[in-house]
Structure 1
Amino acid sequence: MLEVQQDPRQEPFQESMREYRPLGVSGLGGWLILIQIGLWFTLVMLLAQISQSVLPILNTETWEILTSKDSAYYHPLWGPVIIFEAIYNILFLLFTVYVIVAFYRKKAILPRLMIIFYSLSLTVVIVDSLLLSQIPMARELADGSSIRDIARSAIACAIWIPYFIKSERVQNTFVR
């Protein structure tokens, strides 16, 4: 029997020319479309929150009214709560941009980033609600939105964290 030998120098070249194709579903379709919409929505909402709420409070007399001991609206937690929200919103905006970039580059770290994204959102909503509930004026103005925000964030965690852990599409898509 005649055996044909292949040039060993061509083997690595031929293997590098093969494209990795995972078995099963992959790509940014399916339920990942909802994730994309959610990420872009989060980005827009954070930009709106920073420009319409955080920056005006930090740049106007509102800060003085809420944090000056001579003011009728003063409470010692107003300053820390406002600063906490400002820092969180700016850092979460940057984190969201990073997650979006990792998402479209199909980075292997993305499932972990999304778990952090959802967990952090829930944690901060709870902490913010607890802090605001300590301020009488904030309690009086509460309209139940903080409870809705906590519930919405908890539901998102309950759905999307297991999805990013178990999904075949996620495992096949985010491999780089």
Structure 2
Amino acid sequence: MQQEPRQEPFQESMIEYRPLGVSGLGGLLILIQIGLWFSVIMFLLQINQFTLTILNKEIWEVLTAQDSGYYHPLWAPVIIFEVVFNLLFLVFTVYTMIAFYRKKAILPRLMIIFYSLSFVVGVVDSLLLYQIPIARELEDGSSIWDIARSAIACAIWIPYFRKSERVKNTFVR
């Protein structure tokens, strides 16, 4: 009786997938990493400087009490909108960073949402603030610059995440 040579069972986990072409977190993805880290730092600073200050009882009452000279009915909704957005978007950005470093296949969609949402919320926030006379008077053009910068980021990075060979080869898990 002749024995057949013993073959090892195929183990998919032992095979490493290596895509053809460029892959990895290099190239333009280095700029994305810097941008994500910068966003987290900016959100933390904004929460520390704006949120904690504006939610101070005295400042809140100056802006939202009807007998105050600075009162406007949109102050409370705008402030709440900004606080909630900043907190949720901070969590979303951290989640996106985790997906980025784990090279998750969902990352391109998360980045498209990241850039699109940043643009849309910037426009909505500016339009709401423009409805408040004192906020309109204090506007120094920075919100228009922020919207333009966000639109440029969308125009560059959304197509990049949709078409880049590096992105397709890197985020596959």
> Which TM class, normalised by the smaller chain length?
over 0.9
Match of 2:114 in 1: 117
Match of 1:130 in 2: 127
Counterpart Cα distance in 2 of 1:6 and 1:160:
54
1:17 shift after superposition: 2.1
Match of 2:48 in 1: 51
Match of 2:143 in 1: 146
1:159 shift after superposition: 0.2
Aligned ranges 1:3-152 → 2 under 5 Å: 7=6, 10-13=8-11, 15-152=12-149
1:97 shift after superposition: 0.5
Match of 1:163 in 2: 160
TM-score, with structure 2 as normaliser? 0.95
Matched residue type, 2:84: I
Deviates more, 1:53-62 or 1:132-141: 53-62
1:10 shift after superposition: 1.6
In angstroms, what is the RMSD of aligned CA positions? 1.2
1:139 shift after superposition: 0.5
- The secondary structure found in structure 2 opposite 1:12 is coil
Matched residue type, 1:96: T
Matched residue type, 1:152: R
Matched residue type, 1:89: N
Counterpart Cα distance in 1 of 2:38 and 2:26:
18
Please, which runs of 5 or more residues in structure 1 have no aligned partner?
Answer: none
Cα deviation code 1:6-43 (max 9, x no counterpart) = 64x52413x54221100000000000000000000000
Identity level (%): 74
Please, which runs of 5 or more residues in structure 2 have no aligned partner?
Answer: none
Provide the aligned length of Structure 1 versus Structure 2: 170
Runs of 4+ in 1 over 4 A off after TM superposition: none
Matched residue type, 2:68: S
